[in-house]
Amino acid sequence: MRCMMLVKSNETIEKTGLASEHDLAEMGRYNDELTKAGVVLSGEGFLPSSRGARVSLSGGKFTVTKGPFAEPNRLIAGFWTIQTKSKEEAVRWLERAPLSAGEVELRPLFEMEDFPADPAEQAGGWRDQEGAAREAFQAKPPARLPGTKRFILLLQSDAVTESGRMPTEETLSKMGALMEAGVRDGSMLGGDGLKPSSSGVKMKAAAGKRTLVDGPFAETKELVAGYTLLQLRSLEDAIAFAQRWLEIHVLVGVSTGEIEIRELMELGDMPIATEA
């Protein structure tokens, strides 16, 4: 099974864009452990929310709010995606995450087999499109496009996504077409849906103590229902994509929706060590 581990931010990360030197060293050690065990699929850190935006849709109208955003401990600073044989194994990796204070949330990702076949489903529909896109990504990961930045778009959870109700065939087809267009122009780098928080686990750390909390979680506005990774020339391009996504998302039966856009950290954003 595949899971996403979402790491909450803090004031240091929001101000500097980086964790402390100690935390960075611990994170490097943990990354090595994940890699050696063959469970890590990907991992990314986010730049401060001052480089991001939130796009909301309500009553047919869009609202765009540029960062920075308040309450750093409610923001996400980065993530890992891992693949394990069971949820229990994933939780064991969660427990080993380098966290002296704060929170890491583990959420299983949707797989193709989680979506029941619809008798009305047509050949060449969303399932075939999704399968073809995944095969193409595995065979040849998208090349970086010159002059672009990488963004992650985080879809906020709502009552429908938390209920576990599956999207309609129309919604899946429209979303599949949007993703396929991104694959064709090279902007699409990945994306997945997260299962409801009832299937998740949080690890909280404070005062040298770690606590595991099983879902569901009450803070719906802080939860992520899905994400898309894109390489685009500007934040404005990411906002335009978010608006198209929200227009599709509300077809599931909600009147509002929100997506948070965050720019991903690149090697050039990391500090360069200098000799004393």
The domain spanning residue 52 has which CATH number? 3.30.70.1060
Confidence of residue 53 (pLDDT cuts 50, 70, 90): very high
**3-class secondary structure, 38:** coil
Mean pLDDT, to the nearest integer, of 232-249?
A: 97
CB 16 within 8 A of CB 59: no
Q: Flag whether pLDDT at 253 surpasses 90.
A: no
DSSP-assigned letter for residue 124: T
Residue 275 lies in a domain: no
Residue 91 lies in a domain: yes
| Separation of alpha carbons 266 and 89, rounded Å | 30
Residue 37 lies in a domain: yes
DSSP-assigned letter for residue 109: B
DSSP codes, 156-218: EP-HHHHHTPPPPHHHHHHHHHHHHHHHHHT-EEEEEEBPPGGG-EEEEEETTEEEEEESP-S
Mean pLDDT, to the nearest integer, of 258-270?
A: 91
Q: Show the domain range for 182.
A: 2-113+122-266
Q: Flag whether pLDDT at 198 surpasses 80.
A: yes
Residue 102 lies in a domain: yes
Residue 76 lies in a domain: yes
pLDDT digit string (tens) for 87-101? Answer: 999 999 999 999 888
**3-class secondary structure, 32:** helix
Mean pLDDT, to the nearest integer, of 209-238?
A: 94
Residue 274 lies in a domain: no
pLDDT at residue number 199? 97
| Separation of alpha carbons 28 and 177, rounded Å | 38
| Separation of alpha carbons 38 and 194, rounded Å | 22
Residue 273 lies in a domain: no
Residue 79 lies in a domain: yes
Q: In the chain, how many domains are there?
A: 1
pLDDT digit string (tens) for 135-154? Answer: 777 677 789 999 999 999 99
